[in-house]
């Protein structure tokens, strides 16, 4: 008696579950999804942003050496909780990055990450890239301190040089630095083209005193500065005022010699190290 082949068991077997987005039909595969970083924004350089991702084995083969490839040159390493993923398994990965002033100036930082894993045979597989952007909170500000190289003036026709100390007190690089000084007769104000955050720059302008200044006994001048950040409207400083008095002439009565003033010395005690010896 011959033995016949068993009938197909299609009627008794449960239909295979539909493949979801996490598991591919056949072959190795890997996927990545971006997770919101804990740092939703930053306002200065030196802030560590933790780019976070969920990596999933979307194929039917175990993957080893699971890691991330990142577009930011400042990301030197990425950490994944599991480096080996069975089919359908997922792990969280994090890539820390330290912000720079260029990121603040650019208004944010963007990282493009790709997940990578190696199947038992064949080359490594890559996911589609995913992009995450963390914005920079711009806080531009500028301050002005006005002064002169001369403490006093003595006559009309004397040249006075004004100094404008411009201080970038915000977190964004400033350009188009412009001093607004309405003093009549003031020459052009010369400033630097740009000023980085936390830096102090100087602008210069020359002025020639007049007889009206001598009659007034002083020169009082008020100015302010404006500058342009990378984004948003220009910023302006509070006004700053500089006053230069007219030097008072030294009057000496007739037949009287000017009193000589002896120099005074101030002694400041300075500790002197002493080395003791038993010899």
Structure-block tokens of residue 26? 């056949």
**Predicted local confidence at residue 138, as pLDDT:** 85
Label residue 83 left, alpha or beta by phi (over 0 means left) and psi (-120 to 50 means alpha).
alpha
Please state the pTM of the whole predicted model: 0.63
Report the pLDDT value the prediction gives residue 257, as an integer from 0 to 100.
58
Instruction: Place domain 30-135 in its CATH homologous superfamily.
Output: ntegrin, alpha v. Chain A, domain 3 (2.60.40.1510)
Residue-level pLDDT at 259: 56
CB 105 within 8 A of CB 45: no
pLDDT at position 3 is 38
* Chain Cα centroid distance, residue 4: 79
What pLDDT, on a 0 to 100 scale, did the predictor assign at position 46? Answer: 94
Q: What is the pLDDT of residue 67?
A: 97
The pLDDT value recorded for residue 7 is: 38
pLDDT of residue 230: 86
Domain range list for the chain: 30-135, 142-245
Which helix H or strand E contains 213, and what residues bound it?
helix 211-216
pLDDT at 274: 36
Strands of the chain, DSSP E: 30-35, 48-57, 64-70, 79-80, 90-98, 108-118, 125-126, 130-135, 142-148, 159-168, 174-180, 194-195, 200-208, 218-228, 235-236, 240-245
Per-position pLDDT tens, the chain of length 279: 443 433 333 333 333 333 334 445 479 999 999 999 999 999 989 999 999 999 999 999 999 999 999 999 999 999 999 999 999 999 999 999 999 989 988 889 999 999 999 999 999 999 999 999 999 998 999 999 999 988 899 999 999 999 999 999 998 889 999 999 999 999 999 998 899 999 999 999 999 999 999 999 999 999 999 999 988 899 999 999 999 999 976 554 556 555 554 443 333 343 434 333 344
**Which has the closest alpha carbon to 99: 46, 178, 175?**
46
- The predicted structure's pLDDT at residue 106: 87
CATH topology of domain 142-245: Immunoglobulin-like (2.60.40)
Q: Quick check: do 30-135 and 142-245 share a fold?
A: yes
What are the tokens at 218? 């002083």
User: Closest by alpha carbon to 43, among 152, 148, 141, 138?
Assistant: 138
CB 181 within 8 A of CB 223: yes
Q: Give the pLDDT score at 26.
A: 79
């Amino acid at each position: 008696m011959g033995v016949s082949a068993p009938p197909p068991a299609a009627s008794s077997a449960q239909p295979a579950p539909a493949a979801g987005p996490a598991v591919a039909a056949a072959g190795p595969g890997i996927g990545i999804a971006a997770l919101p970083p804990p740092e939703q924004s930053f306002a200065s350089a030196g802030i560590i942003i933790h780019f976070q991702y969920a990596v999933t084995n979307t194929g039917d083969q175990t993957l080893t050496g699971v890691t991330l490839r990142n577009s930011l040159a400042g990301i030197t390493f990425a950490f994944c909780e599991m480096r080996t993923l069975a089919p359908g398994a997922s792990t969280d990965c994090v890539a820390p990055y330290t912000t720079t002033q260029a990121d603040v100036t650019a208004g944010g930082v963007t990282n493009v990450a790709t997940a990578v894993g190696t199947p038992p045979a064949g080359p490594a597989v890559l996911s589609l890239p995913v992009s995450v952007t963390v914005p920079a909170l711009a806080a531009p500000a500028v301050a002005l301190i006005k002064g002169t190289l001369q403490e006093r003036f003595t006559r009309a026709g004397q040249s006075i040089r004004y100094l404008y100390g411009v201080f970038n007190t915000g977190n964004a690089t400033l350009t188009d630095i412009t001093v607004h000084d309405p003093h009549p007769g003031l020459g052009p104000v010369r400033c630097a083209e740009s000023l980085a955050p936390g830096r102090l720059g100087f602008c210069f302008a020359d002025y020639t005193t007049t007889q009206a200044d001598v009659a007034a006994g002083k020169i009082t001048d008020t100015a302010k500065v404006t500058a342009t950040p990378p984004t948003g409207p220009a910023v302006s400083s509070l006004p700053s005022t500089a006053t230069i008095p007219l030097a008072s002439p030294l009057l000496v009565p007739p037949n009287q010699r000017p009193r000589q003033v002896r120099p005074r010395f101030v002694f400041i005690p300075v500790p002197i190290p002493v080395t003791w010896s038993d010899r």
